[in-house]
Amino acid sequence: MHNNNDIDILISEVGPRDGLQSVKATMPTELKRQWISALAGAGLREIEIGSFVSPKLLPQMADAAQLVAHGRSLPGLFVTALVPNLRGAQAAFEAGVHKITMPISVSEPHSLSNIRKTHAQVFEEVRSVVALRNTQFPHIQIEAGLSTVFGCTIQGEVPEDDVIRMAVTMAEMGVDEVGLADTVGYANPTQVRRLFTRLRDSVGTVAGSAHFHNTRGQGLANVVAAIEVGVTTIDASQGGIGGCPYAPGASGNIVTEDLVYLLESMGLRTGVDIERLVAAREWLQRGLPGEPLYGFIPDAGVGKNFHYAKKDA
């Protein structure tokens, strides 16, 4: 589905989902459409447009199907959504997503508090979703997004063997990709290198994306560590929106603008135009007035010596 031969690193923009679902206010659908169009116009090729969850639970995500339709209308955009269960998967598949991500907590206490399911129940759900996909929607990809892999606010330490065991279980169940997420911002670069290396050794090409939070300021350092061990898809959120629910006042996701600058200045092509990306913040400011936006590049600019990466540079 992806044709990304002309880039080195794929940035998956998760602001419309991870960002907006952790903000109390609901951004109007029309402004979300404009924002998604502006992000795609800046060169982002993959956008997580929302979550298919009960609107009672997360009214901010009630327009997910409309946003999938909008995303599908933008040329070359790969549209993804977060899906916690079979009901959400059915809705996302029917809406026309290219990929769903199922959040899978490696820490069982986190799973119980986050989606009120034991691991056994989660496995049932994944099996059902994969079966539905295989019989009716064979072209749609399924990613297991393993969360709390670098530690958990409830359980504390999360053994790496548990992470790898969960990744192997997911691969055996037939998911296409297994990504690793630092849900609570505990990860450090040494841990990132080690765990992504083990992930690739255990599940091969099923090893997927990296999702880091900047809660403790380690986000971009962890990105560099992940890239050093061969990760080629990194999640990020425009303006770093999506605070960390367990660390009030902390910025959440890594900032897309800063990530693009980091990668391009390291000679890695992202396909993203920084000026157009920064300009897309305007829709976010309109849609969520007063919400803090993070990032150094929007304030400081790229500097006089900045060049976009070139092929084989």
Is there a domain that residue 313 lies in? no
Across residues 57-65, what is the average pLDDT? 95
pTM: 0.96
Give ∠ CA 15-17-22 in degrees, rounded to 5. 90
Paired strand residues for 144? 102, 178
Give ∠ CA 245-247-251 in degrees, rounded to 5. 85
Is there a domain that residue 270 lies in? yes
Residue 238, judged by CB atoms within 10 A of its CB (0-12, 13-18, 19+), counts as buried
Across residues 32-37, what is the average pLDDT? 98
Kindly state the tokens that stand for 276. Answer: 């157009």
According to the model, what pLDDT value does residue 252 have? Answer: 85
Buried b (16+ CB within 10 A) or exposed e, 242-277: bbbeeeeebbbbbbbbbbbbbbbeeebbbbbebeeb
Q: What is the dihedral of CA 275, 98, 168, 54, to 10 degrees?
A: 90
According to the model, what pLDDT value does residue 249 have? Answer: 58
- For 114, other C-beta atoms within 10 Å of its C-beta total 17
Is there a domain that residue 2 lies in? no
Q: What φ, ψ does residue 244 adopt, rounded to 5°? A: -100, 115
At 195-214, the pLDDT tens digits run 999 999 999 999 999 999 99
Give helix 64-72 / helix 86-95 axis angle, nearest 10°.
40
Paired strand residues for 237? 255
User: Which amino acids are annotated catalytic?
Assistant: 244
Residues 6 or more apart from 179 whose CB is under 8 A from it?
Answer: 101, 143, 144, 145, 146, 208, 209, 210, 211, 233, 235
According to the model, what pLDDT value does residue 141 have? Answer: 98
Q: What φ, ψ does residue 264 adopt, rounded to 5°? A: -60, -40
AA letter at 292? P
pLDDT at 220 over 70: yes
Asked if 49 and 77 count as a contact pair (C-beta separation under 8 A), the reply is no
According to the model, what pLDDT value does residue 246 have? Answer: 55
According to the model, what pLDDT value does residue 285 have? Answer: 96
Is there a domain that residue 60 lies in? yes
At 124-135, the pLDDT tens digits run 999 999 999 999
pLDDT > 90 in the chain, percent: 88
Is there a domain that residue 159 lies in? yes
Q: What is the CATH number of the domain that holds 70?
A: 3.20.20.70
Instruction: Print the domain residue range for 75.
Output: 10-300
Query: Given pLDDT bands bounded at 50, 70 and 90, which one contains residue 230?
Result: very high
Q: What is the DSSP letter of 152?
A: B
Is there a domain that residue 312 lies in? no
Kindly state the tokens that stand for 197. Answer: 């290396």
Query: Given pLDDT bands bounded at 50, 70 and 90, which one contains residue 24?
Result: confident
What is the tally of structural domains in the chain?
A: 1
According to the model, what pLDDT value does residue 312 have? Answer: 73
Is there a domain that residue 3 lies in? no
At 96-123, the pLDDT tens digits run 999 999 999 999 999 998 889 999 999 9
What mean pLDDT is reported for the chain?
95
Is there a domain that residue 88 lies in? yes
According to the model, what pLDDT value does residue 90 have? Answer: 98
According to the model, what pLDDT value does residue 47 have? Answer: 98
